[in-house]
Structure 1
Amino acid sequence: MKTIKLIFTAIILSTIFVSCSSDDDEIIANPMEGFNLVTSFDANNHSIELYSKKNDFNIGYNEVYIRIKDIGSKSYVSQSEISWMPMMHMTQMEHSCPKSTLTITEDKTVSKGFMVFQMPGNADEYWDITITYTINGEEFTAKKTIDVISPADGKQKISTFMGSDGTRYVLTMTAPTEPKVAINDFTAMLFKMENMMTFPVVEDYKITIDPRMPSMGNHSSPNNEDLSYDAASKMYKGKLSLTMTGYWKINLKLLNESQEVLKGEDVTVDNLESSLFFEIEF
């Protein structure tokens, strides 16, 4: 009899365990776990949410994720067609910025893209973003003013400049985001300004790099690799050797397909820095 009771108890516990495991399996993972909700706003009975790994929108490269929630059902919309238009409203003019199209991720409720802000907002000039999206064949539009700030460390990771060819370019660093004493993967994106609204990616140029530590006799580092264009990612990729912690100025030169220098200079004994550069401090 005691044995039967023990078996019966084991069966009950096993059933409870399986039931709990089944319930756990039904828990839906949050696809934005580890991301920050930078801004959200309501329009058209929907809540539009913008996420990033950063806490804010910064000047330079911003990878952004968008979700749209139906306020009534409290459920996220799956596979919505979404486009966006960031706009800077200055006192004398308006302009947009380099941006990608939005693509749907593995989670069908999440769309992903990037924006490259050239300048921060201030008391008189500001950025806003217009989101256009389609749900079940119906198109909606929503607009929100957003805060774009300079990076907290004050280091330059984007440059907008006129090349010697008369073209205005936007060059932004995309990695490393967490530099280390090592040979780091080094990536950047290059755009040209066709007009106030259009910034196509520039392909097949070359960006030479010469990292220096001004506080340490302006010494460089070994085993760097210049940035060359990668068609798959639409980025310029190379290697950045950082031999110690501290402040580094990454001196750059931009060369076109004919190897003509469009911006930047060599670092020499008489010229300690290039007019085109990024900065890193860690």
Structure 2
Amino acid sequence: MNKIIFFLIATCFAVLSCTKEKTDYEAEIEVVVPEYDEFKEAVTIHSEGYDIKIEALNGTFYKGYNEIRLKVLDSQTRKETNATDVTLLPIITKANGNKNSCPHRYNLVYRTDGNYFSGYSVFTSESLANEAWELHIRFAINNKTYTTNQRITVQEQTNKNLNTTMFIGKDDEQYVIALVSPQRPKVGENELIAGIYKYTKPTTSPGDYPDPSQFSYTEVNNYILQLDPRMPEPSMGNHSSPNNEDLVQRNDGLYRGVVNYTMTGNWTLNFIMLNQNGKILKGTNVPTDFTPGIEGVKSELYLDILF
């Protein structure tokens, strides 16, 4: 009888602890999980009689995935030009003087529905006092090519639902995974969107700076990102959820799947990344045991989120 009573008391304590943790997380959500849906001007570059206006969500560049909208206007008339061949190249100068880039769309695509050039940049770090990001822009008007560049500020990403990770796969290639959506998940099934990118190692000697061939990333094609979401907090017992779907590539180049969050709080998205031939490039299976009181084991490839 004493053993039964002790077990019931312990069970009640575990349930109350779980409820308390959940309540704390819900209170924290209102503070730490921003959501932006409006594009605003992030920077304007004045160059040779033209204004290059670049917009991003909330008018801010953040570490991680950033959708970018660019317009080239005549500085005097303020009207849109007939610019073509617009390219974007983000470059960071490190403290030691080395220059690197990040996943990005180099050749921007013109969107007739919004009259802007569309692209993205996955900034892999925020700006620091001794490390600076620059955007290098090139475009053509009436068969004349223009080039310009502008230093920008990349802010820390405070929304963990938009986290990124950079790693070396078993093929010795450098990869970046960036969460794109949802910015603010809901309890239940959510479409999970991510970009997967690979650094393209240069095969030629550098040309005139900035030579895009030295800073190239590609969207990987036909990979699979296997998903196992868990709540790793000791009070949550590393439990998972049903009805999750692995991420596969869609026509826009991004990877989409389904993640089912059964409650608010800390979640870990455990991944196993397979290439187009089904070979595991990164990631490990995590134990399926329910382990209340013990922090959950994570895959070697994971992203933490909080909502």
CA distance 1:79–1:178, change in 2 (3 Å) = farther
The RMSD of aligned alpha carbons is 2.0
| Alignment partner, residue 60 of structure 2 | 56
1:188 maps to a residue whose letter is: A
CA contact (8 A) 2:164 2:178 kept: yes
- Mark the runs of 5 or more structure 1 residues left unpaired by the alignment: 1-32
Mapping for residues 4-153 of structure 1, pairs under 5 Å:
34-92=38-96, 93-100=98-105, 101-107=107-113, 109-153=115-159
Q: Are positions 1:224 and 2:251 aligned together?
A: no
Q: CA deviation at 1:135?
A: 1.4
CA contact (8 A) 1:79 1:109 kept: no
Which 4+ residue blocks in structure 1 deviate beyond 6 angstroms? none
SS at structure 2 position matched to 1:76? coil
Matches of 1:108 and 1:142, distance apart in 2? 24
Q: CA deviation at 1:278?
A: 1.9
2:190 maps to a residue whose letter is: N
2:132 maps to a residue whose letter is: Y
Q: CA deviation at 1:171?
A: 1.3
| Alignment partner, residue 229 of structure 2 | 211
| Alignment partner, residue 261 of structure 1 | 280
Seq. identity, %: 30
- Mark the runs of 5 or more structure 2 residues left unpaired by the alignment: 1-36, 202-213
Q: CA deviation at 1:91?
A: 2.5
Deviations 1:44-81 (A, max 9, x none): 12111111123421121110000122111122224543
1:53 maps to a residue whose letter is: L
Q: Compare CA radii of gyration and give the structure with the larger one.
A: 1
The 10-residue stretch of structure 1 (66-75 or 270-279) with the greater mean CA deviation from structure 2: 270-279
Q: Give the number of the structure with larger relative contact order, counting CA–CA contacts within 8 Å between residues 6 or more apart.
A: 2
Q: CA deviation at 1:119?
A: 1.6
Q: CA deviation at 1:167?
A: 1.3
Aligned residues: 249
TM-score of the two chains, using structure 2 as the length reference: 0.76
Mapping for residues 227-246 of structure 1, pairs under 5 Å:
227-230=247-250, 232-246=251-265
Matches of 1:46 and 1:260, distance apart in 2? 49
